[in-house]
Amino acid sequence: MNVQCVPIGRKSSRLPYTPRMKVELPEHHSTLYSSFPASRLGRSALEASLREQQIAALLNVNRWSCASEMCGPELVFGTESRQSRFQTEGFVMDAKIVLLPGDGIGPEIVTQGKRVLESIAARYGHTFSMPEHPIGGNAIDDFGDPLPQPTIDSCKDSDAILLGAVGGPKWDDPAAKTRPEVGLLKIRQELGLFANLRPINTFDELVDASPLRREIVAGTDILFFRELTGGIYFGDSGRRPHESGEEAYNEMVYSTGEVERIVRLAAAAAKDRRGKLTSVDKANVLEVSRLWRQVAERVVREEFPEIEYEVVLVDAMAMHLISRPKDFDVVVTGNMFGDILTDAASMLPGSLGLLPSASLGSDGPGLYEPIHGSAPDIAGRNIANPLATFLASAMLLRHSLNLSEEADAIETAVAAALQSGHRTKDIAAGGTSVSTTEMGDLVLQQLT
């Protein structure tokens, strides 16, 4: 097997490793994947992402692809001596993780996320530089721009990004020149983060905090793929005169290529999970959805014939998610449907405070965030739940830096903190609760 990895990016002082590299792939590349480390996303997702980038040629493998596969301990990397050095010294990494605390509870939870990442770095010998940059409402206040250029530049130059949340009533004036949310939409677009992964898993200890009955939700394990850089959130929009005053419009557009790439990733993830993919659309009404459905069906039929595939209309899906969530494995859908359905699904495990998400592109850094919002009503009170941010940090380590063991360590620590009975206010069901910082301490204790 002849794989040559040529470092072209930031170098670790400890190892001849860098997350960004050129990889020359031989024509028959299948054995490259034989040592795939366990990951939620899985091996065929990686293959799909590589296929998408036409692996026959020389390519810049993104950190995610590289991360998932080629940088594992069995990596064929350079010369024999390098390999042995690799083995004796272990796998240490210099990485730049940009922190975007944002608004509301964002700064409190990102501070806790940073502590957890620092403790992981110390325990495993990595060096993480973690510069902070403004985004959202605070950036509007200080710079008149929800996404200042230095924030964009630093993110583009990073290995991964950890975001808190943006927005709040202070910036809600509909007549305002700009809005915090514009910062978030723009960073997704600037970094080409077209795939938003939102895992919905239940923690057994918390199932009784769900508004739904235990027998309906226990065991739910869904991975949503929400398309994130297209559709109605990015279509042409505006206002124009109308006989009754004005009218406003937002256009929903999807191209074949946009549907193909997200469906391909979702189908690949399904193949590595329980083998079932559900595509959600509104093809009985929308032309966009009819194209979506045609393209999705073709991608699955041609490239993933072994998976079980179904299409569900979005209104029906809203119902099925609540009545039979355990029937779903991987769900793929467009930007707006995914936005709405994942908020609904987030109630299944009992609290929004537990759910992380990853936004990934075909190249460059991924962006990781808790899916709850900025919760301005509880901001600054040290009561927010930092667990979703910890789980987002775990996804960051796994998907952008290939640090699966470290990611597992965080997930195990979170589960242990919950098992020991500690709860932040949102999941305490009226009982005793711990603060944001105390929950941070508890998880850190598990990590050291």
Which residues are known to be catalytic? Answer: 233, 282, 315, 339, 343
Partner that binds at residue 397, options ligand IPM, Mn ion, none, CB closer than 5 to 8 Å by kind: none
**Cα separation of 175 and 185, whole Å?**
19
Stretch that binds Mn ion, among 206-214, 242-250, 273-281, 335-343 (CB under 5 A): 335-343
CA dihedral 330, 335, 336, 340 (to 10 degrees): 40
**Whole-number minimum distance, CB 369 to ligand IPM, in Å?**
7
Partner that binds at residue 184, options Mn ion, ligand IPM, none, CB closer than 5 to 8 Å by kind: ligand IPM
Residues 6+ apart with CB under 8 A from 141: none
Considering only residues 86 to 115 of the shown chain, the ones binding Mn ion according to CB under 5 A are none
SS3 call for 172: coil
Stretch that binds Mn ion, among 115-123, 240-248, 337-345, 352-360 (CB under 5 A): 337-345
Residue carrying the six token digits 């964009």: 152
- Among the listed residues 339, 363, 405, 408, the single contact to ligand IPM using CB under 6 A: 339
Q: Quick one: 47 exposed, middle or buried, by C-beta within 10 A (0-12, 13-18, 19+)?
A: buried
- 185 binds ligand IPM, rule: CB under 6 A: yes
- 221 binds ligand IPM, rule: CB under 6 A: no
- 190 binds ligand IPM, rule: CB under 6 A: no
- Among the listed residues 66, 70, 163, 184, the single contact to ligand IPM using CB under 6 A: 184
- 181 binds Mn ion, rule: CB under 5 A: no
Q: Closest-CB residue for ligand IPM?
A: 181
CA-based torsion, 118, 120, 126, 129: positive or negative:
negative
- Among the listed residues 52, 339, 405, 438, the single contact to Mn ion using CB under 5 A: 339
- 181 binds ligand IPM, rule: CB under 6 A: yes
**Whole-number minimum distance, CB 73 to ligand IPM, in Å?**
34
Q: How many residues bind ligand IPM (CB under 6 A)?
A: 5
Half-sphere exposure of 369 (CA within 13 A, CB side): 25
Pinpoint the alpha helices (H) of 30-179: 43-52, 63-65, 80-89, 106-124, 137-143, 149-156
User: 209 vs 336, which CB is nearer to Mn ion?
Assistant: 336
> 120: closest CA among 385, 444, 414, 441?
444
Partner that binds at residue 441, options ligand IPM, Mn ion, none, CB closer than 5 to 8 Å by kind: none
> Mind spelling out the 3-state secondary structure of 205-264?
HHHHHCCCCHHHHCCCEEEEEEECCCHHHCCCEEEEEECCEEEEEECCCCCHHHHHHHHH
Q: 436-447 and 404-419 are packed helices; what angle lies between their axes, rounded to 10 degrees?
A: 120
SS3 call for 60: strand
Considering only residues 41 to 100 of the shown chain, the ones binding ligand IPM according to CB under 6 A are none
Stretch that binds Mn ion, among 242-250, 257-265, 286-294, 334-342 (CB under 5 A): 334-342
User: Which residues are at the interface with Mn ion (CB under 5 A)?
Assistant: 339
User: Which residues are at the interface with ligand IPM (CB under 6 A)?
Assistant: 167, 181, 184-185, 339
